[in-house]
């Protein structure tokens, strides 16, 4: 099973910041995931929400601000006073940081609320120019944009993100088309996900912060997890003294049954 640091090492550092990414870059993990939005002046920046309110000392939508305006805000102090001074990273800066590593890079295009015209083309141009084609997976809840990515660059790995449980995900992902399925823990437990796994399509699950859940997901054939605590989970995964999962899967997940994420 592979481990992706979700929004960088976001449990220990402010999410989607240089601090969280530098921490992920030093770990023996498979990859890192981060979220991309587009500014008013067409720059690609790394942040999870459409607004900067939750993770900075500013207010407003990313789409209404220029990169210069956004760079003036602090994206670390909300997490802890030690993390004060973090500035919003651009996609270029993050790709540059990870180009020195061998980590896989999951670029999540956050174009499901605002469509960000031209985002797919800009991301592909940058990835191509930096020669990172073989190291990226482009995912999105916006499946039309995943289709565009595949049309423009069929060699780039893509993944469709779902919050919902589909009756026939295999048929759906072939229709987009896309290479992998990124789903919630809740959805991964359903028989429809089992069929996708049996067909050999990578199924990767967010957000998994408990070792017992990671081990149960590994047993059912989930390819990778996204976790906020990559160091802790990597230690658990590599600690062979921990007995193999033996309790029924339903008991491992009983606290999330009925929840979506």
Catalytic status, residue 37: no
Choices 105-113, 183-191, 217-225, 232-240 (CB under 5 A): range interacting with Mg ion: 105-113
Q: How many residues bind Mg ion (CB under 5 A)?
A: 2
72/261 with CB nearer ligand G3P: 261
Give me the least distance between CB of 254 and ligand G3P, in Å please.
23
Alpha-carbon separation of residue 224 from 169, 185, 217 (angstroms): 18, 12, 9
Residue nearest to Mg ion (CB): 108
Contact call for residues 70 and 45 (beta carbons, < 8 A): yes
Partnered with residue 185 across adjacent β-strands are none
Q: Which does 206 bind (CB under 5 to 8 A by kind): Mg ion, ligand G3P, none?
A: ligand G3P
Of 49 and 74, the one with the shorter C-beta distance to ligand G3P is: 49
- The distance of closest approach from Cβ of residue 3 to ligand G3P in the complex, given in angstroms and rounded to an integer, is 13
Least CB distance from residue 152 to Mg ion, whole Å?
21
| Dist CA 218 CA 232 (whole Å) | 16
From ligand G3P, Mg ion, none, interface partner of 139 (C-beta below 5 to 8 A by class): ligand G3P
> Binding string, 29-48, against Mg ion, x = CB under 5 A?
------x-------------
Task: Please work out, in degrees rounded to the nearest 5, the angle formed at the alpha carbon of residue 123 by the alpha carbons of 119 and 128.
Answer: 150
Preceding omega of 207 cis (within 30 degrees of 0): yes
Return the number of the residue (183 or 216) whose C-beta is nearest ligand G3P: 183
Residue nearest to ligand G3P (CB): 206
Residue 182 annotated to the active site: no
- The answer to whether 33 and 106 have CB atoms below 8 angstroms apart is yes
Does 15 interact with Mg ion (rule: CB under 5 A)? no
Which residues are near ligand G3P by CB under 6 A?
6, 33, 35, 48, 108, 139, 161, 182, 206, 226
Q: Which residues contact 246 (CB under 8 A, 6 or more apart)?
A: none
Active-site residue, selected from the candidate residues 37, 48, 143, 182: 48
Q: Count other C-beta atoms under 10 Å from residue 15's C-beta.
A: 24
Q: Which residues contact 3 (CB under 8 A, 6 or more apart)?
A: 29, 30, 31, 224, 225, 227, 230, 233, 234, 237
Residue 71 CB, nearest approach to ligand G3P (Å)? 22
Q: Which of 166, 92, 48 is nearest to 178 (CA)?
A: 166
What are the distances in angstroms from CA 250 to CA 101, 155, 216, 223?
37, 38, 9, 19
Minimum distance of Mg ion from residue 138's CB (angstroms): 12
Per DSSP, what are the bridge partners of residue 61?
51
Which residue number, 166 or 241, has a Cβ lying nearer to ligand G3P? 166
For ligand G3P, which is the closer residue by CB, 78 or 84? 78
Interface residue list for Mg ion (CB under 5 A): 35, 108
Q: Which residues are catalytic?
A: 6, 48
């Amino acid at each position: 099973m592979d481990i992706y640091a979700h929004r960088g090492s976001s449990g220990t550092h402010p999410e989607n910041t240089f601090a969280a990414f530098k921490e992920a870059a030093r770990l023996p993990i498979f990859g890192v995931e981060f979220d991309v939005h587009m500014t008013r002046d067409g720059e690609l920046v790394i942040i999870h929400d459409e607004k900067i309110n939750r993770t900075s000392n500013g207010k407003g939508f990313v789409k209404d601000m220029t990169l210069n305006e956004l760079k003036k805000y602090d994206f670390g102090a909300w997490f802890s006073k030690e993390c004060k001074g973090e500035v919003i990273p651009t996609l270029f800066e993050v790709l540059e940081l990870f180009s020195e590593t061998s980590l896989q890079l999951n670029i999540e295009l956050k174009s499901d609320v605002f469509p960000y015209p031209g985002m797919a083309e800009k991301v592909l141009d940058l990835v191509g120019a930096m020669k990172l084609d073989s190291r990226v997976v482009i995912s999105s809840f916006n499946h039309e944009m995943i289709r565009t990515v595949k049309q423009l660059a069929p060699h780039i790995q893509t993944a469709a993100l779902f919050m919902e449980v589909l009756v026939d995900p295999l048929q759906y992902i072939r229709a987009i088309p896309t290479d992998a399925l990124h789903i919630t823990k809740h959805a991964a437990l359903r028989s429809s996900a089992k069929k996708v796994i049996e067909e050999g399509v990578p199924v990767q699950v967010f957000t998994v912060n408990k070792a017992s859940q990671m081990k149960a997901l590994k047993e059912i054939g989930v390819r990778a997890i996204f976790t906020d605590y990559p160091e802790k989970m990597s230690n658990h995964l590599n600690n062979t003294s921990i007995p193999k999962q033996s309790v029924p899967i339903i008991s491992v997940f009983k606290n999330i049954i009925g929840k979506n994420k």
